[in-house]
């Protein structure tokens, strides 16, 4: 392969290759030599290695090296490397692991994809074939686990979210705040980039798992726990802020009329799916789970694969001005269902509401009101959606 054009492309696009390394003396030299075939823009972060890594790095001239006195974690190494790359004037950084699992010969694939992309705010992740022979079962499971949560948090489906062979847009990373220090950083960074509307996508790469020379520093229990804690926090942020923000942004961008026509009536979802989304939204909005309505409706809409926009919109049936009337109606219904003789007026609600006395009535009445309203509005909306869809088909065919 003629590597001169690739070297020129790398120079033109202002790309460097960042290699974080920790005790990978058996594979480090091979990785560096492979990368040098494509570019001399190389930064290596020695994350406190205790083997012969420093001696290996001292044998190279013309490449940037950063040495930590003690191991600080892959996240710290990458963040330090990104900061150094920016100080050197680079716009993009390709990261490649030093354990030998990645092939430097895949670097051109990253460069070609970047070059042909109109939007340069792009983050590329090398997608490994996790089904091939030799891939550890724990790696395949961990990747599927990570893929699911990334999709939940961003709405983007990827084949591989854990590969360390990536291309990062450095100008975007400069504007983000990161808090993790170990392997979980590679999850935090792609989620936060996606939230900033950066294009996050996979490109196919080769992978080699040679257990005779590969040294993995992933600690299953500790690192999996750290990743789980991070995902719990990211899911929380997704439900209470980023998903609602996305819906409101769409509403603001399109305007109420266009938003309603395109995201509601113009949705490609079936009338049944849209009606179920309405029913879910109404049920959650009238339910007694105050403070958790947004998180619940979005979580359940994603879980049941319903229309998130419709479900969220109808969950706002309990707007602040209507809350007193909803609570009052719920207590009255609960009182009737329980067959109690207690009389309850709007005056009780505003001046004499006793939590212990009325809580049971309220919860039962609230769930009943939510169920009845959800069924009624679900059926009505189904008829509306069905009629609208039928008219659209008639107009299209006519």
State the angle between helix axes of 185-195 and 74-87 in degrees (0 to 180), rounded to the nearest 10.
Answer: 50
Q: What pLDDT does 265 receive? A: 60
Least confident of 190-194, 214-218, 335-339: 214-218
Which residue did the predictor score with more confidence, 320 or 182? 182
| Residue 331: band (very low, low, confident or very high) from pLDDT cuts 50, 70, 90 | confident
Tokens found for residue 326: 């909803």
Least confident of 193-202, 269-278, 298-307: 298-307
When pLDDT is averaged across residues 26-38 and rounded to a whole number, the result is: 96
Decide if pLDDT at 104 tops 90. Answer: yes
Q: What pLDDT does 134 receive? A: 60
State in Å, rounded, how far the first CA of the chain is from the last one. Answer: 57
- Model confidence over 130-178: pLDDT tens digits? 776 666 655 667 788 889 999 989 989 999 999 999 999 999 999 999 9
Over the chain, what is the mean pLDDT? 86
Decide if pLDDT at 359 tops 70. Answer: yes
Decide if pLDDT at 20 tops 90. Answer: yes
Q: What pLDDT does 303 receive? A: 83
| Residue 1: band (very low, low, confident or very high) from pLDDT cuts 50, 70, 90 | very low
| Residue 253: band (very low, low, confident or very high) from pLDDT cuts 50, 70, 90 | confident
- Model confidence over 38-78: pLDDT tens digits? 999 999 999 999 999 999 999 999 899 999 999 999 999 99
**Residue 241 gets which letter from DSSP?**
I
Decide if pLDDT at 248 tops 70. Answer: yes
- Return the sign of the alpha-carbon dihedral for residues 139, 144, 145, 150: positive
When pLDDT is averaged across residues 67-93 and rounded to a whole number, the result is: 96
| Residue 215: band (very low, low, confident or very high) from pLDDT cuts 50, 70, 90 | low
- Model confidence over 109-126: pLDDT tens digits? 999 999 999 999 999 999
Alpha carbon distance 253, 285 (integer Å): 25
Domains within the chain, CATH numbers bracketed = 4-239 (3.90.550.10), 255-397 (no CATH)
When pLDDT is averaged across residues 277-286 and rounded to a whole number, the result is: 93
Q: What pLDDT does 55 receive? A: 96
Alpha carbon distance 221, 54 (integer Å): 30
**Residue 182 gets which letter from DSSP?**
S
Burial call 80-118: b when 16+ CB within 10 Å, e when fewer: bbbebbeeeebbbbbbbbbbbbbbbebbbbbbeebeeee
When pLDDT is averaged across residues 370-385 and rounded to a whole number, the result is: 93
Decide if pLDDT at 269 tops 50. Answer: yes
CB-CB contact of 311 with 324 (8 Å): no
Q: What pLDDT does 142 receive? A: 76
Q: What angle do CA 147, 152, 155 make, to 5 degrees?
A: 95
């Amino acid at each position: 392969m003629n590597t001169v054009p690739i070297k020129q492309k790398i120079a033109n696009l202002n790309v460097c290759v960042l290699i974080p390394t920790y005790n990978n003396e058996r594979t480090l030299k091979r990785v560096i030599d492979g990368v040098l075939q494509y570019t001399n823009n190389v930064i290596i972060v020695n994350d406190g290695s205790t083997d012969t890594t420093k001696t290996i790095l001292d044998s190279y001239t013309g490449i940037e090296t950063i040495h930590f006195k003690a191991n600080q974690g892959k996240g710290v190494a990458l963040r330090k490397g990104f900061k150094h790359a920016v100080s050197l004037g680079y716009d993009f950084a390709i990261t490649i692991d030093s354990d030998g699992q990645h092939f430097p010969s895949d670097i051109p694939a990253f460069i070609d994809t970047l070059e042909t992309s109109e939007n340069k705010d792009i983050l590329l992740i090398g997608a490994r074939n996790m089904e091939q022979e030799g891939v550890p079962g724990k790696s395949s499971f961990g990747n599927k686990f990570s893929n699911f949560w990334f999709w939940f948090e961003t709405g983007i489906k990827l084949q591989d979210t854990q590969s360390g062979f990536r291309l990062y847009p450095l100008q975007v990373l400069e504007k983000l705040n990161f808090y993790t220090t170990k392997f979980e950083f590679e999850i935090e960074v792609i989620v936060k980039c996606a939230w900033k509307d950066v294009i996050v996508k996979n490109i196919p790469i080769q992978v080699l798992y040679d257990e005779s020379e590969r040294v993995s520093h992933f600690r299953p229990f500790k690192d999996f726990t750290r990743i789980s804690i991070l995902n719990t926090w990211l899911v929380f942020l997704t439900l209470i802020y980023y998903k609602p923000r996305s819906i409101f942004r769409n509403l603001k961008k399109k305007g109420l009329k266009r938003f309603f026509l395109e995201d509601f009536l113009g949705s490609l979802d079936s009338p049944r799916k849209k009606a179920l989304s309405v029913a879910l939204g109404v049920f959650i909005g009238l339910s007694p789970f105050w403070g958790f309505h947004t998180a619940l409706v979005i979580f359940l809409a994603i879980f049941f694969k319903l229309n998130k926009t419709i479900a969220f919109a109808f969950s706002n049936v309990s707007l602040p001005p209507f809350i007193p009337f909803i609570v009052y109606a719920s207590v009255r219904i609960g009182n009737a269902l329980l067959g109690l003789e207690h009389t309850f007026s709007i005056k009780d609600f505003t001046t004499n509401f006793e939590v212990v006395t009325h809580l049971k009535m309220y919860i039962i009445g609230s769930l009943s009101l939510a169920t009845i309203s959800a069924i009624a509005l679900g059926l009505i909306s189904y008829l509306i959606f069905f009629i609208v869809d039928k008219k659209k088909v008639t107009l299209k065919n006519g």
